[in-house]
Amino acid sequence: MCGVFGIMGHPEASRIAYLGLYALQHRGQESGGIASVDAGAMFVERGMGQVADLFTEACLDRLPGRSAIGHIRYSTSGSSRLQNAQPIRIESRRGAIALGHNGNLVNAQALRKALEDNGAIFSSTSDTEVVLHLFARSTEEIVEDALVDALGRVQGAHAITALTPTQLLAARDPYGFRPLSIGHLEGAWVLASETCAFDLIGAEFVRDLEPGEVIVLSQDARAEGEAIDIVAAGAGGAAAGYVSHLPWAKQARKSCIFEQVYFARPDSRLYGDSVMQARKRMGSTLGAEAPVEADVVVPVPDGGVYAAQGYSEATGIPFELALIRNHYVGRTFIEPRQSIRHFGVKVKLNPVESLIKGRRVVLVDDSIVRGTTSAKIVEMVRAAGAAEVHVRISSPPYVSSCHYGIDTPRREDLIAANLSLEEVRERIGADTLAYLSLDGLRQTVTSGEAEYCTACFTGDYPTPLSDELSTQMELFTPAGAGPAGREIG
């Protein structure tokens, strides 16, 4: 749960990065940072909190130059503190490099232990710093080769932007777990975790990075201000101002399906598909799979809104926004001494009684993780006078923790991993409960060529998990691109 951004060749690079991070804020709210390069010097500003509070005019003035990367973070690996904020900048024998990373590395702990056993000192607990240690130790001379070498030694999910005094690099892991797209803006290249960032800054989407693709943008690759040839850019050739490599062995694509279900912004295009449309299809498939006699379809905002629309269209039951979300809720609340019933949920959601009272309600949400919030919402809707409450979930039961960068509880805290469907229904207090089937979900998202990771619904992880991986060998033997390495530009 992080967002990355990058821009090269724009006179207001750090201000554009700031706006890009603003659009990606839903991907992480704990910390953020921007690194920029001006005349060979690198500048970094990082802090705890949200983008709007972190970056002032004065702060952005301290980030000069035509190239920048940005990062916003929600900790899934490493605790929430300033040292773990990104981009992380280091000095190596190849010069300065700053790196921002979205995704979790499943062998980071093992690699870290091996590095520490060999004398490495870490300043953060983030798995991203492991990549930088591997980069610094690489025997490869050229920056992009050293980064490819480092990333070739890690396992798991990474979508990365990295900045050096002369280059902007981007990489997506061979499974393509996390999204990363490239666009252009007024003669500059931009990279972002989600296309909603391009919309805000007025950039044109060019394409998604391929799983396993590494892109290198160099300042001297084309004359300043020279128009970008978009046709060539699509092909990824050096003529377009960047070079694209596929340095690692090809893997079956395993893009995170949960980004499509819940995590990505609905106005983004993800894996070649509209997130909003995909969510509507999930809802209409759910309506076909699990219809019910009812009077009104009510989404649990924001995640359930488009699935509820799809459910309503498929079943003909009217749609009403009968739960109102307060968008201005902070992380902590000071409760009155005399506790208010359902306070924790009520401060975020409030039912519109006139739309609910005496009616049979279908409550549509994107997922049930622990089940505690669902139980409170069902109780709140009943308290508002609902005659019946039928819960419909637009994804399959969430039964396994994510190891690739989405923050989820341990398996023992996942309600569907521990209780039967009927027990979950009873626990959340619904009259009926139904989930979208895995086949149904797959059908709704298989546009284009995308293949998906569905491990949180199946327990079928695409990679070995941490304790199954070797450690020492990976550090001190050449990783190399090997015979499977492919150049496409």
356 touches 378 (CB < 8 A):
no
- Report in angstroms how near the CB of residue 263 gets to ligand SF4 at its nearest: 8
Closer by beta carbon to ligand SF4, 278 or else 349: 278
The yes-or-no answer on residue 402 being catalytic is no
- Report in angstroms how near the CB of residue 82 gets to ligand SF4 at its nearest: 27
If one counts every other C-beta atom within 10 angstroms of the C-beta of residue 156, the result is 25
SS (H, E, C) the chain: CEEEEEEECCCCHHHHHHHHHHHCHHHCCCEEEEEEEECCEEEEEEEECCHHHHCCHHHHHCCCCCEEEEEEECCCCCCCCHHHCCCEEEEECCEEEEEEEECCECCHHHHHHHHHHCCCCCCCCCCHHHHHHHHHHCCCCCHHHHHHHHHCCCCECCEEEEECCCEEEEEECCCCCCCCEEEEECCEEEEECCCHHHHHHCCEEEEECCCCCEEEEEHHHCCCCCCCCHHHHHHCCHHHCEEEEECCCCCCCCEEHHHHHHHCCCCCEECCEEHHHHHHHHHHHHHHHCCCCCCEEEECCCCCHHHHHHHHHHHCCCECCCEEECCCCCCCCCCCCCCCCCHHHHCCEEECHHHHCCCEEEEEECCCCCCHHHHHHHHHHHHCCCCEEEEEECCCCCCCCCCCCCCCCCHHHCHHHHCCHHHHHHHHCCCEEEECCHHHHHHHHCCCCCCEECHHHHCCCCCCCHHHCCCHHHHHCCCCCCCCCEECC
- Report in angstroms how near the CB of residue 76 gets to ligand SF4 at its nearest: 10
- Report in angstroms how near the CB of residue 178 gets to ligand SF4 at its nearest: 8
Dig out the tokens for 228 from the structure: 């970008």
- Report in angstroms how near the CB of residue 423 gets to ligand SF4 at its nearest: 23
Closer by beta carbon to ligand SF4, 120 or else 256: 256
Q: Which spans of this chain sit near ligand SF4 (rule: CB under 6 A)?
A: 177, 256-258, 402, 404, 406, 453-456
Closer by beta carbon to ligand SF4, 13 or else 406: 406
Closer by beta carbon to ligand SF4, 402 or else 415: 402
N residues, the chain = 489
Closer by beta carbon to ligand SF4, 103 or else 287: 103
- Report in angstroms how near the CB of residue 104 gets to ligand SF4 at its nearest: 9
Catalytic one of 2, 196, 402, 456: 2
What interhelical angle do 305-315 and 275-289 show, nearest 10? 40
- Report in angstroms how near the CB of residue 177 gets to ligand SF4 at its nearest: 5
Contacts of 381 (CB under 8 A, 6+ apart): 298, 323, 351, 356, 361, 363, 389
- Report in angstroms how near the CB of residue 255 gets to ligand SF4 at its nearest: 8
Give the residue numbers annotated as catalytic, written as ranges.
2
